[in-house]
Structure formats: structure tokens, C-alpha cells
Structure 1
Amino acid sequence: MAAIKPGRPGGRHRRPAERQATYGEVLAIGEFRALWAGQALSLLGDQLSRVALSVLVFERTESPLATASVYALTYLPPIVGGPLLSGLADHYARRRIMIVCDVLRALLVALMAIPGTSFTALCVLVFCVVLLSAPFSAARAALLPELLEGDRYVAGSALQNMTNQAAQMLGFAIGGALIMGMGPYRALALDAATFMASALILVSGVRRRAAPARSGSGRPSMWKMTRAGARLVFGDPRLRTLVLFAWLCGFYVLPEGIATPYAAALTDDPQRVSFVAGLLMGSIPTGTVVGAFLFSRYVSPSGRLRSMGWMAMLTCAPLILCALRPPLAVVLVLWFVSGVGGAYQLAANAAFVRCVPAERRGQAFGLVQSGLLAAQGLGILIGGAAADEFGPEPVVALAGAAGLLVAATLAMLWTDSRKEIIERVRAEAPA
């Protein structure tokens, strides 16, 4: 009888099947439920406050520039302050950081809700409120891997991602109606209440933990923490590639920023522009929700890592077809498919967590988040300027082509980097 060759079925012990976590497992963890509920409340309040501020500033100034400037302040603080303040999550207890940030934001938004607050004061308060989101987000992102191990982290991230997208869509959808009924000042007061409710949920639902262990004596300055975080993230080829995967969103989020002029190009009826723009803006987040569910539920942990490059290319490739100026129904499908591809961010996030030491996750996540916002803001800014010159369809197509080239390059770099991480994922599979 011929000998069984190595590598044939039965010739060696098979690897254990990779177990995928379920949403039920994740929601059964009380501390995660507290983080999840607090985040959902804050996000709904934030979306409501964005609409309220836009209405309030425009009513007071009747200036589109002033209204747009206040909205732009939601991008600037994390870009500037994120790398500096995120390191606090690695030097203080992360639960305490989140609670303090929530309470301070509640107080600041409550000041914004006082009738008669000057425009200058509103701008300063908005800046401070958004600035505090940097240490809060860094602390939450660093704490999450401590609550969810292995594939539970991916399931939890997917659940939070879907919640974020749903909160954005719901907040914008009901924000206008609520403000018509209660007015912008009361809407801001409601936002302040959501921050305070989030703090109370964290107090009661998340247990106390000691501050992350630190080596050496004394407390380094913020500049030293920032430089150390940058060396950590960009000095490791694996982390550098994963960060660039995250920042790729600057290409495929661009269409959302020029959805209104794109809608105007698709319809001759001025009354339908806002409706069509709403459909376009909702198509990519909807695709992201569907993609996150399918990717986390039906693709194995190592399969997600192997397909990450292809999924990243999927976010940009459909946008190229917008150069053909297809009708609305086709554009909605193309943008939806682009959103589905964005689910690769779940795998990139999980791989990033595996490669960063636990005691330095706050600073690392803060740097990535700041760059993420910068990529989105810069992409939308460039896209808007180019759309004025060339029209929205070719700009979206060019963004898709440029993003596809970058994604293909990252996919090739990732092929070498992913091997070690996949082996670690397989080694953690239950016997």
C-alpha cells in the first residue's frame, strides 16, 4: 500500500476550525453593553446637535460661510489635539478618562444651550467639545480589547460600526423634525443630557481598572508621548500598512461630501435635489452596515485578513464607473457596493490591536483616528473644489481610480505582513 503523503487529507493533524464569535456572546458581556449604549446615546445627541448648530448659526448670521465654518470645527480639533491628548488614555485609568470627558462635554454643551450665547462663544465651545472626543475615543478604543478577546473583538467592533452608521442616518433623519418641534436650544440641552447619561452608564456599567502599567519614573510630556506613539505606529511595517489601510477612506468617503451637487446633476427638478442627495448620502453607510454584518458573521477570522486587500479595492473600484454618468439607480448600487467593501476596516482594526502593546493602545488609536479625520476632511475639501471645476461625476471617478491604485499597492504590501498575524489567529483557535 502506498504511503500517505504529507499534506493529503488524513496525512497530518488538521488545524482546528476557526470559531467565529456571535453578537449574542458580545452583548452578554455587561461592560461591553455599557460602552455600546453610552456610545449610541452620545452619537445620537451629536448628530442632533450638528443639525441644531447649523440651524442656530444660520438663523443668527444668515451666512452660509459661518454655518460651514462651525461645521468644519467638528473636524479640526481631533486633527490638532488628537495626537497630543490621546496619550492620556495610556497614563490614566481609561474608565476615569471617559467619565471625565463625558461630564465636561455635558457642561460645555449645556452652556451652548443658553439662549443668546454669542457666535464667538459658540465656536469656542464647539471646539472644546469636539477636542474632548479625542481622549474619550482613545480610551474607549484601548479598553475594548480588554473586554473582548479574540474574535469577540471583531464582532463587537462590527456591532459598534453598524451602530455608528445607524445613529448617523437616524440622527440626521429625525434631527430636523425634532428641531422644528423643540427649537435648537432645547435640542442642544438634549445633547447635553445624552453626555450625562453616557457618564452615568459608564459609572454603573464599567468596573474600575488601574491605570496602564508604565515603565520608568515620572510622567512624560504630551510632545514626548506623541513622538513615541508616532515611532511605534510608523516604525513597524505592519502597523504602517494597517494605518494606511484605515486612511484609504479619504478616497471612498469623498462622494458623500459632494452628494448634493451630484444629486443636482442627476435631476432637473430643484425640489428633488435634497431627496436625491439624501439617498446618495445614505447609500454608502447602508452598504457599510450590510458589509460589516456579512463580513463579521460569515467570513472566518483568517479569511478576513486574507481578503482585506481585495475588499479595500472593492471600496474604490465601483466609483470609477461614475465616469459613464449612469442614472440614479445605478449610482446608488455603485455607492452601496463601495460601502460593502468598507467592511475591511474591521479586519484592519483587529489586526492593529494584535500588533500594538496593550499599554500603548490609547496613543496609537488616537494617532490613527486623527489621521482618519484628516483624510476624510481633506478628501472632501479637495473633492468639492475639483467638482466646481470639472463636475461631480468625473471627480468621483478620479477618486475611485486613485483609491484603487493605492489600495492595490497596500494589498501587495499586506501579503507579506499578514502571514504572522494569520498564524497567531489560527493558533488561538480552540482545539
Structure 2
Amino acid sequence: MHDIRAIRENPQAFDDALARRGEAPVAQAILELDEARRAKITAAETAQAAQNTAAKLVGSAKAKGDEAEFERLRAEVADKKAEMAAMQTEAKELDLRLTEILSGIPNLPFEDVPEGADENDNVEIRRWGTPATLDFQPKEHFDIEGVKPGMDFETAAKLSGSRFVVLSAGVARIHRALAQFMLDTHIEENGLTETWTPVLVREEMMLGTGQLPKFGEDSYQTTNGWWLVPTAEVTLTNIVNGMTVDEDYLPRRYVAHTQCFRSEAGSAGRDTSGMLRQHQFEKVEMVSITHPDKSRAELDRMTECAQGILERLGLSYRTVVLCTGDMGFGAKRTHDIEVWLPGQDTYREISSVSICGDFQARRMNARFRPTAGGKPQFVHTLNGSGLAVGRCLIAVLENGQRADGSVRLPEVLHPYLGGKSVLSNEGSLI
């Protein structure tokens, strides 16, 4: 959500920032609506003042026995009351319309975000490791001999339709081990607080983090009105929804491992092979709630937390800054981390870390009281994958594959696998 006062003070700057995202100018329309809303509020206040004045004179006219004046004043009180109610109703309608428009406008990018139209204009800022070079033709994860027994798309299609999978035996255990390894690392080494949250949320929680109203088709809604979370960003960020906390409460750094659900509307034909883009998947999500002065440094910290997981797993990656045309709706700046997949001979996104500034906090009305005094201020929020578990499984399988169809597994996972270090070409852990 945007600050209407900032738009009033500098409408051209607001439109210029939106233009960098490829959005049309809207400041003038917003200001006209805001002016009409404020005029109705003023009219309601004027009518109420006139009503109060007339009401005070009613008793005096009655005491004097001036029946004509008494009736005139009573009629005026009734008229002003009706006028005030009408103006308040119109002001409320205009306020709802203004809120609806502001809710549909994306966040404004930082000035140092590169301009561009799509992913081809993203800018690489870091590269780690050397992409695996195999002495045989690498396969995609679902074609590796040892993976096939434990990754069943046909049964999943029978159960649920396309873009689902049934994992079993060794593959399922590796998937679980990855999530546990991520959680332990973030909790024990990165200082995040482990959190377990629901995956069903109220509509206002989806509004708070920006999934609604504009992107409802990307998520699933149940028949009783709850929404299935597309990521734990929704629940973790909304922990402070409606709260005003003390400054020393900040920062709050959360991590949660959850099931996630996305309809993937409009993604037909994009990265749909195997487990790469599913309707149901797991993520280990990081969320930080910070003081505005600390949020930019927190973006770098969270990026390093996500990168560290890949480094511990020995997986080559690159980090890019998304350009203005490729950023998500609520972000002011986003770092995408892309892991190397030998089977596709390319890098694929495995984490997206974003700073939202006070964009989500305004939607949630989440504030803090400055220790030095003064009015409460909006907190800043950040979110990022630490990591997408299914995509990490893909990376581990493809980078560790061997010519005989078995998979060598990263050393850091061995303790989570009962000391096992290899997925055999028959699908068992040995």
C-alpha cells in the first residue's frame, strides 16, 4: 500500500517510479479521487456542525414558546443529520475506491534497481562454484535411473492431476533431509526463530502481504473462504498484523517449513518438466520484520543465509538483481539465487529474497514505537526462500548423478540419512 501523503507531495516522482516498472501514470486520478473524498468529509463535518448549532437552539425556541421557530429548527436538525449521513456514505464509498486503487498498484523500486523489461535484463552480482562437468551426458532429475523408482508422476496424476508428484523411499527421505538441514542451519547458525504456522489463512492475511486483490487467481481458496498459502511469507509476515510493538522488539527473524500451494495460472509451457513447477510443494521460508534503518542490510543478510545453504551442499549458483520489469508486486528490490542444473544445462531460480519496505506494513497496519519517542512508525518487512525444497532436491540429484544411474549425495546430508551417502541406481539409500 502506498502513502497517499507522499503522492500528494510529489505526484510526478510517484508516476516516474511506476514508469520504471512499465506502469501507466495514476497520480492524477488518485489525487482527484482523494480530493473528492476529502470534500465529502468536509461537507459532512460542516453539516454536523450546523446540526449541533440548530440542536442547541431547539430547546431555547421551545422555552420561549416560539412554535414556528421550534419547528423550523427541528426540520433543520433533521435535514443536516440526513445531509451528514449522505456525505459520510459518499466519503466512505470514495475511500473504499481509493483503497482499492492503491491496493492494486505495485511497490516502487529502489533507485539502484536496474531498469528492464524481463529476466533478460536482470544483473548478475555474484557467482559461486564451478558448474558440474560430467564425463557423460547428464540427465534431468526425473530420468536418472536411481530416481525413477521414487518419483512417480503417473500415480500423482491419477490422484490429483498434472503438476503433482508422489515421492517414496530414498528420494522421499532425501527430500525430508534437505528440509531438516535447512531448518537446522537457519536456526543454529543464522539466528532465525523456528516457527510453525497454519497453511489456511483468512482473506485479510492475503491482502496484508499483497497476494490479494490482484493475484487471487494464482492461489487456491477453499469453499469456506480460507486461502491456502502460496508461501509461509503470508503467515510469518502477518504475525505483526495490526500490532504496534516497541522498537527493541525488532528485528524479528522467522523461519518456517511448510507446504505451499500455487495454481500457477498463466504458466503453461514454462519450466514444467518434472518437479520444477508444482501446484503443491515445500519451502523453508525466511521472514524478517525490521527497523526501517536496518532493512537494506537485512536484505544482504538474508541473501547470504540462502546462499550459504547452497554452498554447504556444494551446489554452484549465481545471484542476480531482478530488473524493474521482472520484480514481484510487493518488492522494492529482489535478489534471485539460481542453482546450476546439469540436466538442463542452465541455472534455475531456487530462492527469491525481497525487501518490501513499509509496503506490506501499511496494508497490515504494523508499526513500532520509537525508543526516543515520537509517533509510531511502520516497520519494514522482508521475505525469502531458504530454500525451495523440491528445487533443491532436483539440484542435488542432477549435480550428484553418476554414469551408472546412482547419485552421490552431499556430505552435510549424511547425518540426516542415517549415514547413507548414495542413492543407488535401484532407488535405495546405501
Hey, which of these two has a bigger chunk of helix by percent?
1
TM-score interval for Structure 1 and Structure 2 normalised by the shorter chain: under 0.3
The structure where strand makes up a greater share of residues is: 2
